[in-house]
Amino acid sequence: MTLEVIGISVLWLFLFGYVIVASIDFGAGFFNASTIVTRKHHIVNSVIQRYLSPVWEITNVFLVFFFVGMIGFFPKTAYYFGTVLLVPISISIILLALRGSYYAFGTYGTKGHVGYTLMYGVTGVLIPASLSTALIVSQGGFIRETPTGGIELDFLSLFTSPFAWSIVALSLVSVLFISASFLAYYSSVAEDIEALNLFRRYTWIWSFPTIVTAMGIIIEMKWHNPTHYEGMLSLWWLFALSLVCFIASLWLLKKRHYGRSFIFVVLQFAIAFYAYGVSRYPYLLYPNLTIYDGFTNETMAYALITAFVFGFMLLIPSLYLVFKLFIMNKPYIQKRNS
Amino acid sequence: MESVELSRYLTMLTLSVHVIFATVGVGVPIMITIAHWLGLKRQDEHYLLLAKRWARGYVISVAVGVVTGTAIALQLALLWPRFMEFAGQLVALPLFMETFAFFFEAIFLGIYLYTWNRFKNPKHHFYLLAPVVLGSAMSALFITSVNAFMNVPQGFTLIGGQLTNIQPLVAMFNPAMPTKVAHVLTSAYMTTAFILASIAAYHLLKGNRHEYHRKALALTMKIALIFSIATALVGDLSGKYLAEYQPEKLAAAEWHFETEGEAPLVLYGVLTEKNEVKYAFKIPYALSILVHSNPFGVVTGLNDIPKEYHPPYEIHYFFDIMVTIGIWLTFLSLVYFIALWRNWSFIKTKIFRILLVTSGPLAMIAIEAGWWFTEVGRQPWIMRGFMQTAEGATDSPHVGIMFVAFAVLYLILLIGTAVVLTRMFKKNPVELELEKDSIEQRSVAK
């Protein structure tokens, strides 16, 4: 394995980590807000608060990690993505900022403030949409050259592209699906039957749109980027495996094995995510930038990988502690119900 | 206005907001640790409550610090794509390590906040603060080393636009780093101590005679004195560093035009269009002493530096603001300390307490002025000697509208933080909380 491949694999791992923890977080915020509107808030409130409070900060760090690592391993991406994505990513930052601070204001400051909670829910749904622009643009076809020799984002073709909107739709529904599946599991640990029933229903509701949009995108890719489509076809068995995991997760959900069901949801996304990543190899930004021409110098690559290994030796035990204290800890999760 | 100018202003805006929360973010964990430790050692519920309440307020500032920090992290690539493309190969290591340190801090802060009364041995809960303090100091260290690198780039060779011989550790441990990191840390601890002292003094000024506030004031002022002295000492070392590695910044800060020995230190004053200094205090020999510890030492003047590399002369004012406030606050905390020790009662007068209340905001102004001084002072460079600011900026035409959007965002964040923090503590005063705690303890004792 070359250094470039190690680098992009590490980054892809961070991005996947962010996709999962952020999905749970964004979805939880959305359910928290939407149940205020549907007057079912009292059912889900305690479960969501118990989970979110100690971990909300950690979510954000995954994103910064991915992003800093990206510039570290592939400094050229700073030029391409930085120049092109000024507007969409700035919007994401603003939404993330409002969301993060309103969460803190609502949770630690004025408890139960409806405005803050609604804000938290709405921004949570908009962020995946604005962040997925980065993924869409990296697919190629939305960047044009300026007369002065620079590059810029072609907003018109971006906003009128059905392909782009399909990815936005996929990011939205999969956020709700992943989140509902996790919260169903969490409320089963909490033995909170009412919340469990609600989240189980949400998982069913959001599961089918997720799989339909995902398949739709694979088909659309044929017209949008034939090279990438070929790459995906050659990995068809991985996407098939992902589909099997999807079916397994629903079957386990029906059998009321919520923990195992959630594990299969993660597996489903992990396989599809990695298959998608491998199929676009070696492009970071099609067709301008590959992982080979954007790579950092060798010394820095070794230094980063070393830092990464040591950092992870520190992080994994700490994350395990968080898990033990808050996520797998029955007395903690159940406390407010008793 | 051009994208370069707008990018500079937007970066300045984001950093000026972020530094408020970053300073508090670095400083508060150590204050919580000291209070918590005193509380456990003396079995004093007042100190424990101090730790608890500071931690609670701290969460709000951490939240805003995280989001403004995310903003600046991403804006670096959005506004300065060419700079990051180049420097990314040199400073990726400290940037990467900074996120690790922050991750570490975030995890343990979350655990600390949600585990009051969950450990059988209260000391185990206290130990959770160690990674928080360490993480916050380390992230300050790593990120400051990146900034230091921009001031003194080293650890690579540039041959015909190609980078070779890259040494990440040499880039990280550059000559600017030790003084910069030390100055950032000591001034953050100092500023935080004064801010917390301001709060305690405010309650005393309002006529609250509770023991809790007196203890808080005495503790924070003592810490403030220690770190004010440390900040001043490190500041002196920073001046010596500047003279050696960035003489143009020091010369512009001092309006020092002629290279000469027996150089005076210029305080205040205005500069005419012909570069004559008017209405200024001049302390003879002081600049030479500052730089060389020798009244006759020769200090490089601006006239010996090519005009296109001169930083804006306005940085003199930022330098003055920072130093004046620093000296004033050191003096204030020293007077307080002596008076406390000798039992002089004038520190309980209204006027003195008003001075104490203003100390926190003043310290924060000094922090801002100090950063403006150091950042504006390395213009026209983004990477001194290698890349000018204009070469690093984006050519996107949308920076103006983003500036407006972020300005509105920061306004919302600042107002929100102020409102939430005041409400949080007004609705739940110390007296009420102490009462609640003692009721809980009695029920446990039964």
CA distance A269 to A12: 13
For residue A117, give the nearest of A59, A196, A31, A184 by alpha carbon.
A31
| Closest CA–CA distance from residue B385 to any residue of chain A (Å) | 21
Tokens describing residue B177:
């780093």
> How big is the A-B interface in CB pairs under 8 Å?
213
**Mean per-residue pLDDT for B396-408?**
89
Antiparallel, parallel or unpaired: β B277-278 and B387-388: unpaired
- Render each residue's pLDDT in chain A as its tens digit; 338 residues: 688 888 888 888 888 888 888 888 888 888 888 888 877 777 777 777 777 766 777 777 788 888 888 888 888 888 888 888 888 889 989 988 888 887 777 776 666 567 777 887 888 888 888 888 888 888 777 777 777 777 778 887 778 888 888 888 888 888 988 988 988 888 888 777 877 888 888 888 888 888 888 888 888 888 878 888 888 888 889 889 999 999 998 898 888 888 899 999 999 989 988 888 888 778 877 777 888 877 778 888 888 888 888 877 877 887 788 777 776 677 776 665 43
Hey, of B14, B24, B89, B412, which one would you mutate to test binding to chain A, going by the most A CBs within 10 A of its CB? B89
Task: Indicate the SS3 state at residue A121.
Answer: helix
CA distances to A191, A268, B353 from A178, in Å = 20, 10, 55
CA distance B380 to B392: 11
| Closest CA–CA distance from residue A6 to any residue of chain B (Å) | 16
| Closest CA–CA distance from residue A85 to any residue of chain B (Å) | 7
- Closest residue in B to A314 (Cα) is B104
Tokens describing residue A140:
């190629």
Q: Which of A152, A300, A311 is facing B89, going by the closest CB pair? A: A300
Q: Which pLDDT belongs to residue A109?
A: 65
Tokens describing residue A59:
């979510």
Q: Which pLDDT belongs to residue B189?
A: 96
CA distances to A220, A282, B175, B293, B301 from B247, in Å = 60, 47, 14, 16, 8
Cβ <8 Å between A148 and B395: yes
Q: Report residue A273 CA to chain centroid gap.
A: 10
A chain contacts of residue B116, beta-carbon cutoff 8 Å: none
CA distance A211 to A215: 6
DSSP letter at A325 equals: I
**Mean per-residue pLDDT for B225-253?**
89
Question: How many Å is the Cα radius of gyration of chain A?
Answer: 20
pLDDT in tens, B331-377: 999 999 998 888 888 878 888 989 999 999 999 999 999 999 999 98
Tokens describing residue B183:
């100055």
pLDDT grade, residue B444 (50/70/90)? Answer: low
CA distance A28 to A41: 12
Q: What is the 3-state secondary structure (H, E, C) of A71-84?
A: HHHCCHHHHHHHHH
The answer to whether the Cα torsion of B314, B145, B92, A313 is positive or negative is negative
Cβ <8 Å between B168 and A300: yes
Q: Which pLDDT belongs to residue B409?
A: 92
CA distance B263 to B292: 11
Cβ <8 Å between B92 and A322: no
| Closest CA–CA distance from residue A244 to any residue of chain B (Å) | 35
Residue B163 β-bridge partners: B158
- Which residue bears the tokens 């900034």? B147
Cis ω before B168 (30° cut-off from 0): no
Q: Which pLDDT belongs to residue B408?
A: 94
Q: Report residue B175 CA to chain centroid gap.
A: 20
Q: Which pLDDT belongs to residue B1?
A: 60
For residue A318, give the nearest of A49, A9, A58 by alpha carbon.
A58
pLDDT grade, residue B35 (50/70/90)? Answer: very high
Cβ <8 Å between A86 and B113: no
B chain contacts of residue A110, beta-carbon cutoff 8 Å: 420, 423-424
CA distance A65 to B195: 31
Residues in chain A: 338
For residue A238, give the nearest of A260, A218, A212, A208 by alpha carbon.
A218
Hey, of A68, A133, A313, which one would you mutate to test binding to chain B, going by the most B CBs within 10 A of its CB? A68
Tokens describing residue B68:
């403004």
Longest dimension (CA), chain A: 67
Considering A60-64, A99-103, B281-285, B402-406, the range whose residues carry the highest mean pLDDT is B402-406
Question: Global pTM?
Answer: 0.88
Counting Cβ atoms within 10 Å, is residue A162 exposed (0-12), middle (13-18) or buried (19+)? exposed
Q: Which of A101, A148, A152 is facing B416, going by the closest CB pair? A: A101
Query: A326 touching B, CB under 8 A?
Result: yes
CA distance A252 to B298: 80
In this model, does residue B194 exceed pLDDT 60? yes
Q: Which of B71, B87, B114 is facing A93, going by the closest CB pair? A: B71
Cβ <8 Å between A98 and B81: no
Residue B270 β-bridge partners: B278
Lowest mean pLDDT among B138-142, B227-231, B242-246, B432-436: B432-436
Query: A94 touching B, CB under 8 A?
Result: yes
Q: Whole domain around residue A218: which residue ranges?
A: 3-337
pLDDT in tens, B89-101: 888 889 888 988 8
- Closest residue in A to B424 (Cα) is A109
- Closest residue in B to A312 (Cα) is B100
B chain contacts of residue A152, beta-carbon cutoff 8 Å: 396
CA distance A257 to A203: 13
Residues 51-90 of A with CB under 8 A from B: 53-55, 57-58, 60-61, 63-65, 67-69, 71-73, 75-76, 78-83, 85-87, 89-90
Q: Which of A90, A97, A296 is facing B402, going by the closest CB pair? A: A90
pLDDT grade, residue B440 (50/70/90)? Answer: low
Q: Which pLDDT belongs to residue B441?
A: 62
User: CB–CB of A20/A266 below 8 Å?
Assistant: yes
Q: Which amino acid is at B215?
A: K
- Closest residue in A to B56 (Cα) is A108
Question: B425 Cβ partners below 8 Å, 6+ apart?
Answer: B53, B57
pLDDT in tens, B163-186: 778 888 888 898 999 999 999 999
Cβ <8 Å between B93 and A300: yes
CA distance B51 to B29: 9
Hey, of B58, B61, B68, B70, which one would you mutate to test binding to chain A, going by the most A CBs within 10 A of its CB? B70
Q: Which of B71, B85, B108 is facing A318, going by the closest CB pair? A: B108
Cβ <8 Å between B163 and A307: no
Q: Which pLDDT belongs to residue A113?
A: 67
CA distances to A49, A66, A100, B417 from A106, in Å = 11, 28, 10, 11
Task: Indicate the SS3 state at residue B306.
Answer: coil
B chain contacts of residue A98, beta-carbon cutoff 8 Å: 409, 412
| Closest CA–CA distance from residue A168 to any residue of chain B (Å) | 21
Mean model confidence pLDDT for chain A: 82
Task: Count structural domains, chain A.
Answer: 1
Cβ <8 Å between A61 and B71: no
Cβ <8 Å between A93 and B421: no
B chain contacts of residue A71, beta-carbon cutoff 8 Å: 77, 84, 88, 92, 95
In this model, does residue B155 exceed pLDDT 90? no
A chain contacts of residue B115, beta-carbon cutoff 8 Å: 325
Hey, of B396, B402, B425, which one would you mutate to test binding to chain A, going by the most A CBs within 10 A of its CB? B396
Cβ <8 Å between B424 and A297: no
B chain contacts of residue A102, beta-carbon cutoff 8 Å: 416
**Quick count: other Cβ atoms within 10 Å of Cβ B275?**
11
B chain contacts of residue A82, beta-carbon cutoff 8 Å: 77-81, 84, 394
B chain contacts of residue A146, beta-carbon cutoff 8 Å: 395
CA distance B180 to B414: 27
Q: Which pLDDT belongs to residue A338?
A: 37
